[in-house]
Amino acid sequence: MMAAAGVACGDGDPDARRPVDAGADAGAPDAPPQDASDDGGSTDPDTDDAGGEHDAEVDGGGDADDPDDPDSPRAVDCAPLPESGGTIVAVDPSMAAQLPQLVRQAQANTTFVFAAGTYALTETLHVRARGVTLRSADDDAESVVIDGGYNVNSLLLINAGEVTVAHLTLTRALHHPIHVSPASDATENLLGTRIYGVHIVDGAQQFIKINPNGARSAFVDEGLVACSRFELTDAGRPRVDRSGTGCYTGGVDGHAARGWVVRDNHFKDIYCAGEGLAEHAVHFWSASRETVVERNLIENCARGVGFGLSQSGGDRDYADNPYPGVEGYMGHIDGIIRNNIIVADIDYYDTGIELAQAHGARAIHNTIFDAEAANRFSSIDYRFPNTSVEIRNNLVGRITRRNEAAGEVDHNLEGIDAGLFEDAPGLNFHLAASATDAIDQGVVVEQAGLDIDGEPRDRGAAPDIGADER
């Protein structure tokens, strides 16, 4: 990880986590290349793999990452998760052929403990029971490799609530290394997915896919992706799915999902070398809501963080109707993108943060730096008439507004260079002592959270601009 990351810290704190009723979702296209005239659109509905193989009953749950108040900023490191309870099933690489059946037939609250080694999968590991955990025996993701060999669509398919995946490496999925979606006949939302301390390498499609079932009768809410690494290698890049835009891969991709937290992760090299524009490292859209994306390092990815995408798309009806005065489609509702570092020096980089039909979203205290070699459209781009956002205290190359978007945009520093940082080439984005244009130049904002090192913003006369509080 980057030197500036320090400790990885805390949960997110969306304004509210309220029960929701399932509604209709008409499907949403995936992302085309971004440019000044493109409204988006492609061919991927948000319900892939959401059909016949999903047959588990879904129960409720919640975000089990930390029992403390999620609205209280606090420093929490990325230590291994505590030991799991319930029934313990020990497995080793010699049992790889048996694993799909063992996981599919597992009862609620079963924990699979993986001994070190490589597990060559021939079928998907399909989790259908609530509270199942899959984790390594030594809490070291590098010691346990679940390898699909590009022969298995999804390495791990989750149809039940409160499932934990921790301290494993998942690699070479034909589609998604991890896919979370309710069963086809589910009527309750799937809650409490926890993906923690994993290393995901070379997904041919999105590394983590989150979507409602095909009936739009159940959605996937209140999940966590934390303390993990996502990487597309030179060996894996030629195997990327060329559907749609020619580069149909990305990091975490959530459709019509509410209350997810994506924190303290490292996304690296998710791009295609000229075949098309990859999706975002973190993307929540199709009327997703209250997503928190914080303290992530996004390094050399085609796009960083996206809330929404197109002017129209797959929708979700919320019983509380959060913005009754807004007519038409909202690609993302509320949510916050804070204290992230997004850096690129590749030709295939496009946008750092994209806010499209994003209503009530906030982008605060982010550092977005691209070297002169990078091909950059915008550091932060906000667009379309239903976009109403807050963009404050960001260190960026430039901010762009398009298509009648509205925003409160101030106390950002644009046109930045490497001299602001202690060692930008070494991925150390702590502010240098000489960075007087950024130090104490921000404005106090609500829910600023902890900085990239897990430190509060309580030094100096005012907050610093960017992800680091010096």
- What dihedral angle (degrees, nearest 10) is formed by the CA atoms of 135, 138, 141, 142? -140
pLDDT at 86 over 70: yes
Task: Over range 119-128, report the average pLDDT.
Answer: 98
CATH number of the domain bearing residue 316? 2.160.20
- The pLDDT assigned to 244 comes to 87
91 to each of 107, 114, 174, how far by Cα in Å? 16, 5, 24
- The pLDDT assigned to 375 comes to 83
Q: How many percent of the chain have pLDDT more than 90?
A: 81
- The pLDDT assigned to 117 comes to 99
- The pLDDT assigned to 315 comes to 87
Residue that has been written with the tokens 């993307």 in this structure? 283
pTM: 0.87
pLDDT at 155 over 60: yes
DSSP per position, 196-263: ES-EEEEESS-SEEE---TTSS--EES-EEES-EEE--TTTGGGS--STTS----SEEEES-BS-EEE
Rounded-to-integer distance, Cα 109 and Cα 85, Å: 7
Q: Which residues pair with 342 in a beta bridge?
A: 298, 368
- What dihedral angle (degrees, nearest 10) is formed by the CA atoms of 329, 221, 457, 397? -40
- The pLDDT assigned to 58 comes to 24
Rounded-to-integer distance, Cα 169 and Cα 128, Å: 21
- The pLDDT assigned to 194 comes to 99
Residue 93: inside a domain, yes or no?
yes
Q: Are the C-beta atoms of residues 441 and 462 closer than 8 Å to each other?
A: yes
pLDDT at 38 over 80: no
- The pLDDT assigned to 53 comes to 35
Residue 390: inside a domain, yes or no?
yes
Ranges 33-37, 69-73, 97-101, 151-155: which has the least confidence: 33-37
Q: Give 470: exposed, middle or buried? Use CB within 10 Å, 0-12, 13-18, 19+.
A: middle
- The pLDDT assigned to 36 comes to 31
Task: Over range 68-85, report the average pLDDT.
Answer: 68
Number of domains in the chain: 1
Rounded-to-integer distance, Cα 350 and Cα 340, Å: 17
Which tokens in the block code for residue 121?
Answer: 């999968």
Rounded-to-integer distance, Cα 132 and Cα 408, Å: 44
- The pLDDT assigned to 75 comes to 57
Instruction: Encode pLDDT of 229-269 as tens digits.
Output: 999 999 999 999 999 889 999 999 999 999 999 999 999 99
- The pLDDT assigned to 85 comes to 86
Residue 445: inside a domain, yes or no?
no
Residue 440: inside a domain, yes or no?
no
- The pLDDT assigned to 11 comes to 36
Ranges 17-26, 41-50, 272-281, 317-326: which has the least confidence: 17-26
Which tokens in the block code for residue 421?
Answer: 């940082």
Ranges 56-60, 103-107, 113-117, 457-461: which has the least confidence: 56-60
- The pLDDT assigned to 1 comes to 38
Q: Which residues pair with 399 in a beta bridge?
A: 380
Residue 454: inside a domain, yes or no?
no
Q: Which residues pair with 209 in a beta bridge?
A: 179, 253
- The pLDDT assigned to 314 comes to 84
Instruction: Encode pLDDT of 321-372 as tens digits.
Output: 999 999 999 999 999 999 999 999 999 999 999 999 999 999 999 999 998 8
List the domain range (segments joined by +) for residue 192. 3-431
The three-state secondary structure class of 95 is: helix
Rounded-to-integer distance, Cα 124 and Cα 159, Å: 12
407 to each of 118, 287, 410, 416, how far by Cα in Å? 49, 19, 9, 22
- The pLDDT assigned to 76 comes to 57
For residue 43, name the pLDDT band (cuts at 50, 70, 90): very low
pLDDT at 52 over 50: no
Residue 172: inside a domain, yes or no?
yes
Q: What count of Cα atoms within 13 Å lies in the side-chain half-sphere of residue 150?
A: 10
Q: How many percent of the chain have pLDDT more than 70?
A: 84
Instruction: Encode pLDDT of 309-323 as tens digits.
Output: 999 988 899 999 999
70 to each of 110, 373, 467, how far by Cα in Å? 27, 40, 20
DSSP classification of residue 68: S
